[in-house]
Amino acid sequence: MKKVFIKSSIHGDLYFRSIYDYFDGPKLFSVISSRGKFLLVYWIDEDDDDYTWVAIDITKSRLLALERKALDIYSALNEKEDKTYFKILTPFDKRKPATIETIVGDISSEIIMPDRGIHISMVENHLAEVEFNEIIEAGILHADYSLHIDRPKASRSLIDFTSIAPIFDTLNELLNDFISSFKIHDKLLPVSGKPGSFIVDFNSSKFNLIEGNLKELTNRMKMRVAIGSFIKEKKIPLQALEKLFTHISNKNLIIDLSNKNSEDEFLKISKLDADFYLKEINRLSSLDLSSWQVPQADTLTRVFSLVENIWKNGFLDRVATGLSDRHIAYYEDAANILGFISDSGTVTSIGQQMILASDDAKLSITAKCFENSHCGWTWIMWSEVENISQVNPDTAKKFLDECAVTLSETTKQRRSRTLKTWCNYLQEHYKNWG
């Protein structure tokens, strides 16, 4: 018979799968989530009221290695496959709910690890094959989140795809900009949709990292208090939020987003909310940079070569660049930031003009393109000057500290080097057309 370890707000029901160690109860075991994912659960503490555990996502192959003792407990926990882990509190009093939170980092920085070389004591299976298959089959339709998109009752127009698709795109951007500072990414995976007032159920393993912040944001909006300092403090991605609010306002929508496991409706925005807050968000967003808007490619001549490569071949001949895939990606992003190539990778009209120009004109065009880019213009606004030639290149790091809040410290240091290099170089070639 299936036994539930906890009902997790992140995973849904977690069912005991196999017990590996017993000491006054199971203290090391695997569970399977409602979506059919495996987790390894390890006891780390207890007091008079609760047990405390850590749990990690674990693939079946790694779990089998643990079970056949090819992997010790220390290694299983220390070399986890995901950057996150979960901390779980289970009250002795089972009438009280368990709590679970996602933590980004290594377990070894939270606890004293078990001794190396100790393997599991046993494998005592708790799930019959038929029960396991039932969970896997039901898991296909299990969703952790539900997004409800509606229009005010007075509105008669139907909700079409142009209303729905951008919300999904924007939520995806909101999440990934937010978690980029942890150097992790995630995807929103739709599970099912219901027509009418449109409902989309979806899954995301990392959305819980931003749930609490969105709930607090919704509470503040209900009270109509200022949200600017809260958004900046919690590093909620401003541009994605601006897109979401603008879309809701333009299309006269109401959205609510809920966690189906905890039944918590943590984000609710109507056109009235969006209209009330858009001005404040627009103002903040004009001084906000997302990760993809900041270049990380110091050598401008390589940017030019990459654009020329695409223009000559009709596609990017990657071998001819002489760069690694990682560096190609950096230079593609830089060419895109400057407007030389489109999002789909084709050369734009200004990109062609740059290629056909003399070497000196190339740099003048590039100086102007950098000024016109979101990054360049935000730097100008932040510096309170009129053009890129007046920006102090030495302020690059301070600028990113204040305007690119979702970037990690090491990324900011690297990218500020690129900005400083570009600014120093391009200022010599800047022509003021005004």
Partner 1 sequence: MTNTAQKVMPQWPDFPDGIPPDGAHAPAGDYYRITNKQQPSAKCCASDYQKNPHTLDERTGLEYICSYGISIQNTLEGARETVGRFRNATRKRFIAKGSLNEEIGLVKQTFQKEYHHTLWTYDGVKTHTYFQFLEVA
325 binds partner 1 (CB under 8 A): no
Indicate which single residue of 76, 80, 81, 121 sits in contact with partner 1 (rule: CB under 8 A).
Answer: 121
Q: How far is the CB of 95 from partner 1 (least distance, A)?
A: 7
The residue type of 200 is V
Phi, psi of 63 (to 5 degrees): -65, -40
Site string for partner 1, 25-54 (x = CB under 8 A): xxxx--------------xxxx-x------
Buried b (16+ CB within 10 A) or exposed e, 67-87: beeebbbbbbbeebeeebbbb
Q: How far is the CB of 43 from partner 1 (least distance, A)?
A: 5
> Quick one: 31 or 244, whose CB is closer to partner 1?
31
> Quick one: 5 or 85, whose CB is closer to partner 1?
5
Q: How far is the CB of 130 from partner 1 (least distance, A)?
A: 16
> Quick one: 130 or 223, whose CB is closer to partner 1?
130
The pairing of beta strand 12-22 with beta strand 4-8: antiparallel
> Quick one: 126 or 412, whose CB is closer to partner 1?
126
* Beta-bridge mates of residue 12: 8
The enclosing H or E element of 112 equals none
22 binds partner 1 (CB under 8 A): yes
Phi, psi of 226 (to 5 degrees): -60, 140
> Quick one: 95 or 279, whose CB is closer to partner 1?
95
> Quick one: 25 or 152, whose CB is closer to partner 1?
25
Quick one: which segment of 15-23, 248-256, 277-285, 352-360 binds partner 1 (CB under 8 A)?
15-23
118 binds partner 1 (CB under 8 A): yes
Quick one: which segment of 92-100, 161-169, 203-211, 341-349 binds partner 1 (CB under 8 A)?
92-100
User: Cα(320)–Cα(328) distance, rounded to whole angstroms?
Assistant: 11
Quick one: which segment of 117-125, 312-320, 329-337, 420-428 binds partner 1 (CB under 8 A)?
117-125
Indicate which single residue of 61, 81, 94, 319 sits in contact with partner 1 (rule: CB under 8 A).
Answer: 94
Q: How far is the CB of 93 from partner 1 (least distance, A)?
A: 6
CB contact set of 172 (below 8 Å; sequence gap of 6+):
187, 188
> Quick one: 24 or 384, whose CB is closer to partner 1?
24
* Beta-bridge mates of residue 4: 15
Q: How far is the CB of 118 from partner 1 (least distance, A)?
A: 5
User: Cα(406)–Cα(305) distance, rounded to whole angstroms?
Assistant: 30
Residues 122-181, interacting with partner 1 (CB under 8 A):
122, 124, 126
The enclosing H or E element of 140 equals none
The residue type of 70 is A
Residue 17, both tokens:
């799968």
> Quick one: 15 or 379, whose CB is closer to partner 1?
15
Contact criterion met (CB below 8 Å) for 13 and 144: no
Cα-Cα-Cα-Cα torsion 141, 143, 146, 149, nearest 10 degrees, comes to: -40
Q: How far is the CB of 20 from partner 1 (least distance, A)?
A: 10
271 binds partner 1 (CB under 8 A): no
Contact criterion met (CB below 8 Å) for 99 and 88: yes
115 binds partner 1 (CB under 8 A): yes
The candidate with the shortest Cα–Cα distance to 157, out of 271, 275, 246, is: 271
4 binds partner 1 (CB under 8 A): yes
The candidate with the shortest Cα–Cα distance to 28, out of 59, 62, 74, is: 74
> Quick one: 68 or 312, whose CB is closer to partner 1?
68
CA-CA-CA-CA torsion sign (110, 114, 116, 121):
negative
How many residues interact with partner 1 (rule CB under 8 A)?
A: 34
Edge-to-edge strand list for the sheet holding 145-150: 189-194, 198-203, 145-150, 254-259, 264-270
The candidate with the shortest Cα–Cα distance to 40, out of 54, 51, 52, 26, is: 54
111 binds partner 1 (CB under 8 A): yes
User: Cα(376)–Cα(381) distance, rounded to whole angstroms?
Assistant: 9
> Quick one: 128 or 226, whose CB is closer to partner 1?
128
60 binds partner 1 (CB under 8 A): no
Indicate which single residue of 112, 154, 223, 319 sits in contact with partner 1 (rule: CB under 8 A).
Answer: 112
> Quick one: 111 or 189, whose CB is closer to partner 1?
111
The single residue listed with the structure tokens 């409706």 is: 265
238 binds partner 1 (CB under 8 A): no
Q: Which residues bind partner 1 (CB under 8 A)?
A: 1, 3-5, 16, 19, 21-28, 43-46, 48, 73, 92-95, 111-115, 118, 121-122, 124, 126
